[in-house]
Amino acid sequence: MPHGGAADYAASMSFSPRARVHLQNIVANWRTIASLVSQSEAGAVVKANAYGHGVAPVARALHAAGCKTFFVAYVDEGVELRNAIGAEATILAFNGAEPGDADLIRTHQITPVLNALPAIREWLKLSDTPSYAVHVDTGMNRLGVRMEDVPELEDLTASGPPVHVMSHLVDSDDRSRAINAEQLARFKDAASHFPHAHTSFANTGGCFMGQDYGFDIVRPGIGLYGGGPPLPDGIELKPGMTLEAPILTVQSVQPGETVGYGATYTFDTPRTLATVALGYGDGFLRAAGNKGIASLGGIVCPIVGRVSMDLITIDVTQAADLAMPGAFAQFIGAEILLEEQARRAGTVGYELVTGLGHRVRRIYD
Protein backbone atom coordinates (compact mmCIF):
# COMPACT_ATOMS: atom_id res chain seq x y z
CA MET A 1 0.00 0.00 0.00
CA PRO A 2 1.49 3.42 -0.90
CA HIS A 3 2.13 5.93 1.86
CA GLY A 4 -0.36 8.75 2.05
CA GLY A 5 -3.60 7.32 3.43
CA ALA A 6 -5.60 7.55 6.63
CA ALA A 7 -3.51 4.84 8.30
CA ASP A 8 -0.43 7.02 7.92
CA TYR A 9 -2.35 9.88 9.53
CA ALA A 10 -3.31 7.77 12.52
CA ALA A 11 0.21 6.40 12.93
CA SER A 12 2.08 9.66 12.56
CA MET A 13 1.00 11.25 15.87
CA SER A 14 2.76 14.43 14.73
CA PHE A 15 2.44 17.03 12.01
CA SER A 16 6.18 17.02 11.36
CA PRO A 17 8.30 15.71 8.49
CA ARG A 18 9.99 12.35 8.76
CA ALA A 19 12.75 10.41 7.05
CA ARG A 20 12.30 6.68 6.93
CA VAL A 21 15.91 5.45 6.79
CA HIS A 22 16.16 2.09 5.03
CA LEU A 23 19.17 0.39 6.60
CA GLN A 24 18.70 -2.77 4.55
CA ASN A 25 18.80 -0.68 1.36
CA ILE A 26 22.02 1.03 2.46
CA VAL A 27 23.63 -2.35 3.15
CA ALA A 28 22.36 -3.66 -0.20
CA ASN A 29 23.84 -0.63 -1.99
CA TRP A 30 27.18 -1.21 -0.24
CA ARG A 31 27.19 -4.79 -1.47
CA THR A 32 26.19 -3.79 -4.99
CA ILE A 33 28.99 -1.24 -5.24
CA ALA A 34 31.47 -3.68 -3.70
CA SER A 35 30.64 -6.20 -6.41
CA LEU A 36 31.95 -3.78 -9.06
CA VAL A 37 35.42 -3.75 -7.46
CA SER A 38 35.44 -7.22 -5.95
CA GLN A 39 39.23 -7.42 -5.61
CA SER A 40 39.20 -4.41 -3.26
CA GLU A 41 37.94 -4.05 0.28
CA ALA A 42 34.76 -2.00 0.37
CA GLY A 43 34.83 0.70 3.01
CA ALA A 44 32.08 3.23 3.69
CA VAL A 45 32.02 7.01 3.97
CA VAL A 46 29.78 8.04 6.87
CA LYS A 47 30.81 11.66 7.36
CA ALA A 48 28.22 14.39 7.90
CA ASN A 49 26.06 12.09 10.06
CA ALA A 50 26.13 9.41 7.36
CA TYR A 51 25.03 11.98 4.80
CA GLY A 52 22.10 12.97 7.01
CA HIS A 53 20.89 9.41 7.57
CA GLY A 54 22.23 8.93 11.12
CA VAL A 55 25.79 7.77 11.64
CA ALA A 56 25.28 5.35 14.53
CA PRO A 57 22.48 3.19 13.04
CA VAL A 58 23.97 3.30 9.54
CA ALA A 59 27.50 2.40 10.64
CA ARG A 60 26.26 -0.38 12.91
CA ALA A 61 24.27 -1.90 10.05
CA LEU A 62 27.23 -1.71 7.68
CA HIS A 63 29.62 -3.06 10.29
CA ALA A 64 27.29 -5.99 11.00
CA ALA A 65 27.23 -6.66 7.25
CA GLY A 66 31.02 -6.89 7.13
CA CYS A 67 32.30 -3.37 6.54
CA LYS A 68 35.59 -2.91 8.41
CA THR A 69 36.85 0.50 7.25
CA PHE A 70 34.98 3.78 7.70
CA PHE A 71 35.77 7.32 6.60
CA VAL A 72 34.71 10.57 8.26
CA ALA A 73 35.81 14.19 7.83
CA TYR A 74 36.61 15.30 11.39
CA VAL A 75 38.27 13.67 14.36
CA ASP A 76 35.17 14.43 16.46
CA GLU A 77 33.09 12.47 13.96
CA GLY A 78 35.55 9.62 14.37
CA VAL A 79 35.10 9.67 18.14
CA GLU A 80 31.31 9.51 17.75
CA LEU A 81 31.66 6.68 15.27
CA ARG A 82 34.05 4.71 17.48
CA ASN A 83 31.62 4.97 20.37
CA ALA A 84 28.88 3.64 18.10
CA ILE A 85 30.62 0.64 16.53
CA GLY A 86 33.30 -0.38 19.02
CA ALA A 87 36.95 -1.25 18.53
CA GLU A 88 36.78 -3.74 15.64
CA ALA A 89 36.96 -1.30 12.73
CA THR A 90 39.38 1.12 11.10
CA ILE A 91 38.36 4.79 11.09
CA LEU A 92 40.09 7.44 8.96
CA ALA A 93 39.46 11.20 9.27
CA PHE A 94 39.89 12.99 5.92
CA ASN A 95 40.57 16.48 7.30
CA GLY A 96 43.52 15.42 9.40
CA ALA A 97 44.45 16.29 12.96
CA GLU A 98 46.71 18.58 14.95
CA PRO A 99 49.38 17.28 17.31
CA GLY A 100 47.13 18.41 20.16
CA ASP A 101 44.62 15.78 19.04
CA ALA A 102 47.12 12.95 19.54
CA ASP A 103 45.69 11.67 22.83
CA LEU A 104 42.18 11.64 21.37
CA ILE A 105 43.51 9.87 18.29
CA ARG A 106 45.24 7.22 20.40
CA THR A 107 42.30 6.67 22.76
CA HIS A 108 39.76 6.22 19.97
CA GLN A 109 42.07 4.60 17.42
CA ILE A 110 41.44 7.10 14.65
CA THR A 111 43.78 7.42 11.69
CA PRO A 112 44.09 11.06 10.60
CA VAL A 113 44.67 11.77 6.91
CA LEU A 114 47.45 14.37 6.80
CA ASN A 115 47.21 16.71 3.85
CA ALA A 116 50.40 18.81 3.70
CA LEU A 117 54.12 18.44 4.35
CA PRO A 118 54.15 20.91 7.30
CA ALA A 119 51.39 18.94 9.05
CA ILE A 120 53.27 15.69 8.50
CA ARG A 121 56.50 17.17 9.90
CA GLU A 122 54.70 18.25 13.06
CA TRP A 123 52.99 14.87 13.43
CA LEU A 124 56.26 12.99 13.14
CA LYS A 125 57.71 15.03 16.02
CA LEU A 126 55.28 13.35 18.43
CA SER A 127 56.66 10.71 20.72
CA ASP A 128 55.07 7.33 20.07
CA THR A 129 53.75 8.77 16.83
CA PRO A 130 50.18 7.61 16.18
CA SER A 131 49.52 5.93 12.83
CA TYR A 132 48.54 8.30 10.07
CA ALA A 133 47.50 8.37 6.42
CA VAL A 134 48.57 10.75 3.65
CA HIS A 135 46.49 12.38 0.95
CA VAL A 136 48.30 13.00 -2.35
CA ASP A 137 46.86 15.66 -4.64
CA THR A 138 46.61 14.16 -8.11
CA GLY A 139 44.66 17.04 -9.64
CA MET A 140 41.94 18.34 -7.31
CA ASN A 141 44.08 21.22 -5.99
CA ARG A 142 42.17 21.20 -2.73
CA LEU A 143 43.89 19.01 -0.13
CA GLY A 144 46.97 16.83 -0.33
CA VAL A 145 50.70 16.71 -0.90
CA ARG A 146 51.47 17.83 -4.43
CA MET A 147 52.87 15.30 -6.87
CA GLU A 148 56.17 17.13 -7.23
CA ASP A 149 56.63 16.87 -3.47
CA VAL A 150 56.13 13.09 -3.26
CA PRO A 151 59.90 12.33 -3.29
CA GLU A 152 60.34 14.72 -0.37
CA LEU A 153 57.39 13.06 1.37
CA GLU A 154 59.03 9.66 0.90
CA ASP A 155 62.27 10.89 2.46
CA LEU A 156 60.48 12.68 5.29
CA THR A 157 58.49 9.60 6.28
CA ALA A 158 61.19 6.98 5.77
CA SER A 159 61.46 6.21 9.49
CA GLY A 160 57.72 6.44 10.13
CA PRO A 161 55.80 5.86 6.91
CA PRO A 162 52.04 6.31 6.49
CA VAL A 163 49.81 3.29 6.89
CA HIS A 164 47.47 4.51 4.15
CA VAL A 165 47.90 6.63 1.01
CA MET A 166 44.91 8.06 -0.82
CA SER A 167 43.80 10.57 -3.42
CA HIS A 168 40.49 11.85 -4.72
CA LEU A 169 39.00 11.92 -8.21
CA VAL A 170 38.12 15.29 -9.71
CA ASP A 171 35.20 14.27 -11.91
CA SER A 172 34.16 10.66 -11.49
CA ASP A 173 30.62 11.82 -12.29
CA ASP A 174 31.69 11.88 -15.95
CA ARG A 175 33.49 8.63 -16.64
CA SER A 176 34.43 9.75 -20.16
CA ARG A 177 36.74 12.54 -19.05
CA ALA A 178 40.46 12.09 -19.71
CA ILE A 179 41.36 13.57 -16.34
CA ASN A 180 40.24 10.35 -14.65
CA ALA A 181 42.91 8.28 -16.41
CA GLU A 182 45.47 11.05 -15.86
CA GLN A 183 44.80 11.03 -12.13
CA LEU A 184 44.92 7.24 -12.06
CA ALA A 185 48.41 7.28 -13.57
CA ARG A 186 49.57 9.92 -11.10
CA PHE A 187 48.21 8.00 -8.13
CA LYS A 188 49.87 4.77 -9.24
CA ASP A 189 53.15 6.68 -9.38
CA ALA A 190 52.64 8.25 -5.95
CA ALA A 191 51.56 4.99 -4.33
CA SER A 192 54.62 3.18 -5.66
CA HIS A 193 56.75 5.23 -3.23
CA PHE A 194 54.91 3.64 -0.28
CA PRO A 195 54.73 -0.09 -1.07
CA HIS A 196 53.66 -1.11 2.44
CA ALA A 197 50.78 1.36 2.77
CA HIS A 198 47.14 0.59 2.03
CA THR A 199 45.94 2.52 -1.01
CA SER A 200 42.58 4.14 -1.69
CA PHE A 201 41.40 6.16 -4.68
CA ALA A 202 37.82 5.41 -5.69
CA ASN A 203 34.73 7.16 -4.39
CA THR A 204 31.28 6.04 -5.61
CA GLY A 205 31.93 7.21 -9.15
CA GLY A 206 35.39 5.69 -9.09
CA CYS A 207 33.88 2.32 -8.18
CA PHE A 208 31.66 2.66 -11.24
CA MET A 209 34.83 2.87 -13.36
CA GLY A 210 35.91 -0.62 -12.38
CA GLN A 211 38.71 -2.51 -10.75
CA ASP A 212 41.54 -0.41 -12.20
CA TYR A 213 40.43 2.34 -9.83
CA GLY A 214 39.86 0.06 -6.85
CA PHE A 215 43.34 -0.37 -5.32
CA ASP A 216 43.23 -1.84 -1.78
CA ILE A 217 40.16 -0.07 -0.38
CA VAL A 218 37.30 1.80 -2.04
CA ARG A 219 35.36 4.64 -0.44
CA PRO A 220 31.72 4.65 -1.59
CA GLY A 221 29.78 7.52 -0.07
CA ILE A 222 26.71 9.00 -1.77
CA GLY A 223 26.04 5.74 -3.60
CA LEU A 224 25.37 3.98 -0.30
CA TYR A 225 22.43 6.31 0.17
CA GLY A 226 20.98 5.89 -3.32
CA GLY A 227 22.49 8.94 -4.99
CA GLY A 228 25.49 9.81 -7.10
CA PRO A 229 26.47 9.80 -10.77
CA PRO A 230 24.74 7.85 -13.54
CA LEU A 231 24.81 4.13 -12.85
CA PRO A 232 26.64 1.56 -14.98
CA ASP A 233 24.42 -0.61 -17.13
CA GLY A 234 22.65 -3.31 -15.16
CA ILE A 235 23.30 -1.70 -11.77
CA GLU A 236 20.49 -0.50 -9.51
CA LEU A 237 20.77 1.32 -6.19
CA LYS A 238 17.95 1.65 -3.70
CA PRO A 239 16.83 4.77 -1.82
CA GLY A 240 18.61 5.20 1.50
CA MET A 241 15.70 7.18 2.86
CA THR A 242 12.13 8.17 2.15
CA LEU A 243 11.53 11.80 3.04
CA GLU A 244 7.86 12.49 3.72
CA ALA A 245 5.86 15.43 5.00
CA PRO A 246 2.26 15.50 6.27
CA ILE A 247 -0.47 17.51 4.63
CA LEU A 248 -1.85 20.18 6.93
CA THR A 249 -4.61 21.65 4.77
CA VAL A 250 -6.26 21.11 1.39
CA GLN A 251 -7.98 23.91 -0.52
CA SER A 252 -9.20 24.90 -3.96
CA VAL A 253 -8.03 27.95 -5.90
CA GLN A 254 -9.38 29.72 -8.96
CA PRO A 255 -7.74 31.17 -12.08
CA GLY A 256 -5.90 34.40 -11.36
CA GLU A 257 -5.07 33.52 -7.75
CA THR A 258 -1.49 33.16 -6.53
CA VAL A 259 0.23 31.10 -3.87
CA GLY A 260 2.95 31.76 -1.32
CA TYR A 261 5.36 34.58 -0.55
CA GLY A 262 6.01 36.94 -3.44
CA ALA A 263 3.06 35.61 -5.44
CA THR A 264 5.51 33.82 -7.72
CA TYR A 265 2.97 31.38 -9.15
CA THR A 266 -0.35 32.37 -10.74
CA PHE A 267 -2.99 29.75 -11.57
CA ASP A 268 -4.63 29.73 -14.97
CA THR A 269 -7.12 26.94 -14.22
CA PRO A 270 -8.95 25.78 -11.08
CA ARG A 271 -6.58 23.68 -8.96
CA THR A 272 -6.52 21.75 -5.70
CA LEU A 273 -3.62 22.57 -3.37
CA ALA A 274 -2.18 20.89 -0.30
CA THR A 275 0.11 22.63 2.16
CA VAL A 276 2.63 20.30 3.84
CA ALA A 277 4.83 20.60 6.92
CA LEU A 278 8.29 20.85 5.38
CA GLY A 279 10.47 23.82 4.54
CA TYR A 280 13.95 25.24 4.41
CA GLY A 281 13.95 25.31 8.22
CA ASP A 282 14.03 21.52 7.92
CA GLY A 283 16.80 21.64 5.33
CA PHE A 284 14.65 21.23 2.23
CA LEU A 285 16.02 23.65 -0.33
CA ARG A 286 14.32 26.98 -0.98
CA ALA A 287 15.59 26.68 -4.54
CA ALA A 288 13.00 23.92 -5.11
CA GLY A 289 10.19 26.48 -5.19
CA ASN A 290 8.19 26.21 -8.46
CA LYS A 291 10.63 23.49 -9.59
CA GLY A 292 10.58 20.54 -7.22
CA ILE A 293 7.99 17.80 -6.99
CA ALA A 294 6.27 15.58 -4.46
CA SER A 295 4.36 12.33 -4.83
CA LEU A 296 1.06 11.12 -3.43
CA GLY A 297 0.55 7.41 -4.06
CA GLY A 298 2.90 7.57 -7.05
CA ILE A 299 1.17 10.59 -8.59
CA VAL A 300 3.55 13.51 -9.19
CA CYS A 301 2.46 16.74 -7.54
CA PRO A 302 4.47 19.86 -8.47
CA ILE A 303 5.66 22.33 -5.84
CA VAL A 304 3.90 25.62 -6.52
CA GLY A 305 5.13 28.89 -5.10
CA ARG A 306 8.11 29.40 -2.87
CA VAL A 307 9.41 26.96 -0.31
CA SER A 308 9.06 28.79 3.01
CA MET A 309 10.67 28.05 6.36
CA ASP A 310 8.09 25.53 7.57
CA LEU A 311 5.72 24.97 4.66
CA ILE A 312 5.51 23.88 1.03
CA THR A 313 2.43 24.00 -1.17
CA ILE A 314 1.93 21.29 -3.79
CA ASP A 315 -0.58 20.97 -6.60
CA VAL A 316 -2.57 17.81 -5.82
CA THR A 317 -5.22 18.23 -8.50
CA GLN A 318 -4.32 14.89 -10.09
CA ALA A 319 -4.26 13.14 -6.69
CA ALA A 320 -7.22 14.88 -5.07
CA ASP A 321 -8.73 11.64 -3.75
CA LEU A 322 -5.53 10.95 -1.78
CA ALA A 323 -5.01 14.48 -0.50
CA MET A 324 -6.30 14.88 3.05
CA PRO A 325 -4.91 16.37 6.26
CA GLY A 326 -2.49 13.89 7.79
CA ALA A 327 -1.64 12.08 4.55
CA PHE A 328 2.09 12.05 3.81
CA ALA A 329 3.57 13.32 0.56
CA GLN A 330 6.92 11.91 -0.54
CA PHE A 331 9.79 14.25 -1.47
CA ILE A 332 12.67 11.73 -1.69
CA GLY A 333 12.31 7.98 -2.09
CA ALA A 334 11.32 5.29 -4.54
CA GLU A 335 8.78 7.59 -6.20
CA ILE A 336 10.93 10.76 -6.20
CA LEU A 337 14.56 9.77 -6.67
CA LEU A 338 17.14 11.75 -4.72
CA GLU A 339 19.14 12.99 -7.69
CA GLU A 340 16.00 13.91 -9.66
CA GLN A 341 14.77 16.11 -6.81
CA ALA A 342 18.23 17.61 -6.42
CA ARG A 343 18.49 18.32 -10.13
CA ARG A 344 15.22 20.20 -10.08
CA ALA A 345 16.55 22.36 -7.25
CA GLY A 346 19.76 23.04 -9.14
CA THR A 347 22.00 21.04 -6.84
CA VAL A 348 23.23 17.51 -6.08
CA GLY A 349 21.91 14.78 -3.82
CA TYR A 350 24.72 15.35 -1.31
CA GLU A 351 23.40 18.79 -0.40
CA LEU A 352 19.80 17.66 -0.17
CA VAL A 353 20.34 14.82 2.32
CA THR A 354 23.19 16.30 4.39
CA GLY A 355 21.18 19.47 4.95
CA LEU A 356 18.14 17.78 6.52
CA GLY A 357 17.86 19.09 10.06
CA HIS A 358 16.88 17.75 13.45
CA ARG A 359 13.19 18.63 12.96
CA VAL A 360 13.01 15.81 10.41
CA ARG A 361 12.37 12.70 12.52
CA ARG A 362 14.52 9.72 11.52
CA ILE A 363 12.68 6.41 11.66
CA TYR A 364 14.82 3.31 11.07
CA ASP A 365 13.62 0.16 9.37
Reply yes or no on whether 125 is catalytic: no
**Catalytic, out of 47, 51, 225, 280:** 47
In 3D space, the residue among 188, 127, 187, 123 whose CA is nearest the CA of residue 161 turns out to be 123
Q: Name the burial class of residue 135, with classes exposed (0-12), middle (13-18) and buried (19+) by CB atoms within 10 angstroms of its CB.
A: buried
Rounded Cα–Cα distance for residues 365 and 315 (Å): 30
Whether 70 and 46 have beta carbons less than 8 Å apart is answered as yes
Using CA atoms of 117, 106, 112, 47 in order, give the dihedral in degrees to the nearest 10. Answer: -160
CB atoms within 10 A of CB 342: 22
142 assigned ligand-binding residue: yes
**What is the Cα–Cα distance from 150 to 346, expressed in whole angstroms?**
38
Looking at this protein, which amino acid is placed at residue 202? A
Query: Distance between CA atoms of 138 and 301, rounded to whole angstroms?
Result: 44
Q: Where are the alpha helices (DSSP H) in the chain?
A: 6-12, 23-36, 47-51, 55-65, 75-85, 102-108, 117-124, 150-156, 178-191, 204-208, 338-344, 349-354
CA–CA separation, 199 and 43 (whole Å): 12
d(CA 30, CA 59) in angstroms, rounded, equals 11
Q: Are 324 and 247 in contact (CB under 8 A)?
A: yes
- Was 309 annotated as part of a binding site? yes
The residue from 9, 238, 261, 280 that is catalytic is 261
Confirm whether 280 is a catalytic residue: no
Strands 133-137 vs 164-166: parallel, antiparallel or unpaired: parallel
Annotated binding site for substrate: 142, 309
Catalytic (active-site) positions: 47, 261
Which parts are annotated binding residues?
142, 309
